[in-house]
Chain A
Amino acid sequence: MDASALVLSGSMAVAAGVVGCFALMRRMTLAADAISHVALPGIGLALVLQINPIVGGVAALLLGAILIWGLERRTGIPTETVVGVVFSAALAVGSLLASGDELIDALLGRPTAMGRWEFAFGLLAPLGVVAFLGAARHRLLISLVSPDLARTVGIDVARLNLAFLLAFAVTVALGLRYLGVLLMGSLIIIPAATAKHLARNVGTMFAVAVGVAVASTLAGSVAAALTHRPTGPVIIAAAAGCFFASLAVRRAL
């Protein structure tokens, strides 16, 4: 493990912690996990076409975000149901496209050597996601309490939802190389769930979620390298450990 890899995975975890807080408050827990699965057919297709799998994953995720947004705008359709069906199907199709070791890597994540542009994406995208969420935090908070109230304050709720889903998709894409398609949703949700359990205001929630996400990612990456295990499962085991520990402490913060 070199220092630059730790910096990249650490900044990915910061973005995951912050995005997770909003996702959880917006009650997207199940959708969050399902959305990350949509990366798989993209990765599979990229492997077939012999282009960089991460490019395929990012493209599929952005498309998935726009698809969910479109479904949410049509009232009366139970989003969770559609998300569950569409993205489980994506997982199935993706598994057919990729195979063998490639499939395992895509599902569980495996940090490999990366090109210059991948390094730049890994460094700049988390900055972009966190900057966007920081700038939009007031609008996001009001609209998660009530979209109607948000409208009376002049917030364009539909546009804000799309921007949030795209930020979410980019965050999932960042985690693909470390955690893979199956587990990235968990790094977004588990630290935020831990924080939600402990916090009584949003400031504390963000601090705890980012702390748990970064600590589990760094500790998990080092532990996985030392024990020659895939990184994703070790990171998520560490995060889940924090969550269960938090259950013993009720709303102390």
Chain B
Amino acid sequence: MSNRLEVVSLGVSFGATAVLRDLSFAVREGSAVAVIGPNGSGKTVLFKALIDALPHTGTVRWAPGTRIGYVPQRLDLERDLPLSGTDFLRAKAALLHAPEAEVERASGLVMLGREVEARPIGSLSGGQFQRLLLAFALLGRPNVLLFDEPTAGIDEPGEELLYATVERLQKEEHLTLIFISHELSLVYRMAGEVLCLGRRGVSCFGPPRHILTPETLEQTYGIPVDHYLHEVHGR
């Protein structure tokens, strides 16, 4: 199977601080890769480098014909921004020359109600906004989905729903999924491979059963991670 993404010796620095250093990995077409690591280890920075939103060294090579859907972690919006979810989705559809039916398909996939979609985006709850962002990402039928900490600010049933949708899409549409998560049970369930980012630029890459071990996790997070492992084995 061919690679959708190849990253070679990727480095990102802010001033004198190196956040990512000499990072190399490859993502196969249609696979699911989880990115784990403690706060400040550069997970979101990695995503921004992957979409070319940050200056970086090394190479980020997407296969030709890659269409990226990106779901950011959170956005800093004014509550009274007079921009409705519908305005927001239609703006992307218009840019892609996608028909109106595409907007309905995308918001249908994430089960965003029409009434919710018509509200100003700043007034949506965390979970509603996250689903709107997922609908935005899915518009235009991307073949790669970058999902940053998808469950932050979402209740349990909402989280299940979001993951079930993403899992289904990944299988049905052969979507390549790269997601950041702190929930190791989820990582175990969904990921074919795990990329761990530790502090001070240490990283590892491999299948969950090799990465989600007490030793590697302790190395990554800098503290013993027993609690998560119970959860993993409990599933």
Contacts and interface: CB of A to CB of B under 8 A. Distances in A.
Interface of A: 25, 27, 137-139, 141-142, 145-149, 151-155, 195-197, 199-205
Contacts of A202: 82-84, 87
Contact of B92 (A137, A138, A204): A138
B38 interface: no
B82 A139 contact: no
A229 to B, nearest CB: 34
A141 B72 contact: no
B83 A25 contact: yes
Contacts of B78: 27
Interface of B: 48, 51-53, 68-70, 72, 75, 77-78, 80-84, 86-88, 90-92, 94-96, 118-121, 133, 136-137, 140
Given A199-B82, A201-B83, A142 B91 contact: yes
A145 B88 contact: yes
A199 B133 CA distance: 22
Given A152-B51, A202-B82, A141 B91 contact: yes
B163 to A, nearest CB: 21
Contacts of A27: 78
Given A146-B75, A152-B68, A138 B91 contact: yes
A151 B92 contact: no
A155 to B, nearest CB: 8
A139 B87 CA distance: 12
A204 B84 CA distance: 11
A197 B80 CA distance: 8
Contacts of A151: 51-53
Contacts of B92: 138, 142, 153
A149 B77 CA distance: 14
15 contacts: A25-B83, A138-B91, A138-B92, A139-B91, A141-B83, A141-B91, A142-B95, A145-B77, A146-B72, A151-B51, A151-B52, A196-B81, A200-B82, A200-B119, A203-B87
B75 A145 contact: yes
A199 B84 CA distance: 10
A137 B77 CA distance: 18
Contacts of B51: 148, 151-152
Given A200-B84, A204-B82, A139 B95 contact: yes
Given A148-B53, A153-B92, A201 B70 contact: no
A201 B120 contact: yes
Contacts of A200: 82, 84, 118-120
B80 A196 contact: yes
Contact of A201 (B48, B53, B82, B96): B82
Contacts, number: 76
Contacts of B94: 138
Contacts of B81: 25, 196
Which one of B91, B118, B120 has the greatest number of beta carbons of chain A within 10 Å?
B91
Nearest to A27: B78
Nearest to B120: A200
Given A142-B95, A149-B72, A153-B95, A201 B86 contact: yes
B53 A195 contact: no
Given A149-B136, A152-B51, A203-B87, 13 more contacts: A25-B83, A138-B94, A141-B87, A142-B95, A148-B51, A154-B95, A155-B95, A197-B80, A201-B82, A201-B118, A201-B120, A202-B84, A204-B82
B119 A141 contact: no
B48 A141 contact: no
A207 to B, nearest CB: 11
A2 B95 CA distance: 42
Contacts of A153: 92, 95-96, 140
Contacts of A196: 80-82
Contacts of A145: 75, 77, 83, 88, 121
Contacts of A149: 70, 72, 133, 136
A219 to B, nearest CB: 25
Contact of B87 (A154, A195, A201): A201
B140 to A, nearest CB: 8
B70 A141 contact: no
Nearest to B83: A202
Contacts of A25: 81-83
A153 B136 CA distance: 10
Contacts of A148: 48, 51, 53, 70, 72
